[in-house]
Chain A
Amino acid sequence: DTEVTQTPKHLVMGMTNKKSLKCEQHMGHRAMYWYKQKAKKPPELMFVYSYEKLSINESVPSRFSPECPNSSLLNLHLHALQPEDSALYLCASRATWGTGELFFGEGSRLTVL
């Protein structure tokens, strides 16, 4: 299984809502990533978990709260978002051996009204 699965594929939420994005992989990878991607822009690094511990937070606003409950799962909790947070949120995982390639999920398309 070489897949990273993200749910939901699409999410529409109001600025007062609380929602979560989920990411799952069963490749035994111990590094997991959240990236944000706006249209015609590159993926922008948000968070990295390494061995279930937060290793990188790229000064992301606290309305985004990551969680790594176990080595296969990564969540991104969303609260009080702004319309400018609308974007494609990509999860990726990486093995701690080999080339260090990132395996990306298909993304969750988020719209904040």
Chain B
Amino acid sequence: KNEVEQSPQNLTAQEGEFITINCSYSVGISALHWLQQHPGGGIVSLFMLSSGKKKHGRLIATINIQEKHSSLHITASHPRDSAVYICAVRSNQFYFGTGTSLTVIP
């Protein structure tokens, strides 16, 4: 069983929809990362969280340490948000989720 589980694996949304991607983990962590991998392959770090909530533009990330759960929300989704979103946690080492492939249709 993977230490980090993401859901859903695949997600298709209409432009403008509110999107939520979930991440659950089973290890003690010092930080949780949300990464975005573009169709071209490049990886960008979106957020690093150890508690609470962070917001960058239309993206919001939350974490509940007690429940070992994090969510990534995208408001007013746009086709350029189409990418794979990866949850990663830092414990004694880094563990990665298998990613959520998001497609936003115009």
A and B interact physically: no
